[in-house]
Amino acid sequence: MGSGLLFPAMAMATATLVIVFVQAAAGQSEMNMLFYMTDNLTGSSETAFPIAGFNGSSSDPGKFGTVVIINDAITKRPEITNSDTDNLVGRAQGTYINTNPVTGLDFFMLFTIIFQNMEYNGSTLQIQGTETFGRPQREYAVVGGTGKFRFARGYVVCTTESSSGENAVLRFNTTFRTN
């Protein structure tokens, strides 16, 4: 396991996210963010690891009951390259659990997005929902937040940007309000 990606010493994106502020009803402000999560279960820089399940840590993530712990990169663009230093905006830290005994394609997602870019450094969004991998579009809830995103509530529309074996890049179109 390459510890480089898991705990990046240079996770310092300097530019801000592309964020659209939409004026919503009664003084509420709505934010929209578009970013990507790279979830690699295999390869030299994997960031997702099965830790428990019917066969312990050797459980198949595609099988019911397997718990995967993640520390995935959240980026502005779907491709991660070392030269693209302002791409990284944060990490997704948490778990997903395979919850479908028939298809093995449902995952209960529960994670924190910890922002590391300058403007929102240290603020978080709390994400929860069921990922039905293979469906064209899925939706998770933004159930809370901290720092600049206190009282956050909203939703993430998730689509698969690309996938290869057990590795995938998910596109998150995130819409939420903080007041």
Residues that bind ligand NAG (CB under 6 A): 12, 14, 32, 34, 38, 40, 43, 45, 53-55, 59-60, 63, 65-66, 80, 116-118, 121-122, 157, 164, 167, 173, 175
Q: CA 96, CA 66: separation in Å to the nearest integer?
A: 8
Helix or strand (DSSP H, E) at 3: helix 3-6
Name the residue nearer to ligand NAG (CB basis): 60 or 143. 60
Name the residue nearer to ligand NAG (CB basis): 99 or 175. 175
Phi, psi of 52 (to 5 degrees): -155, 165
Name the residue nearer to ligand NAG (CB basis): 86 or 144. 86
Smallest distance, ligand NAG to C-beta of residue 44, A = 7
Helix residue spans in the chain (DSSP H):
3-6
- Give the three-state DSSP class for 128: strand
Smallest distance, ligand NAG to C-beta of residue 116, A = 6
Smallest distance, ligand NAG to C-beta of residue 122, A = 6
Name the residue nearer to ligand NAG (CB basis): 53 or 94. 53
Q: Burial of 144 by CB count in 10 Å (0-12 exposed, 13-18 middle, 19+ buried)? A: middle
Smallest distance, ligand NAG to C-beta of residue 112, A = 15
Written as one string, the DSSP assignment of 56-77 is GGG--TTSTT-EEEEEEEEESS
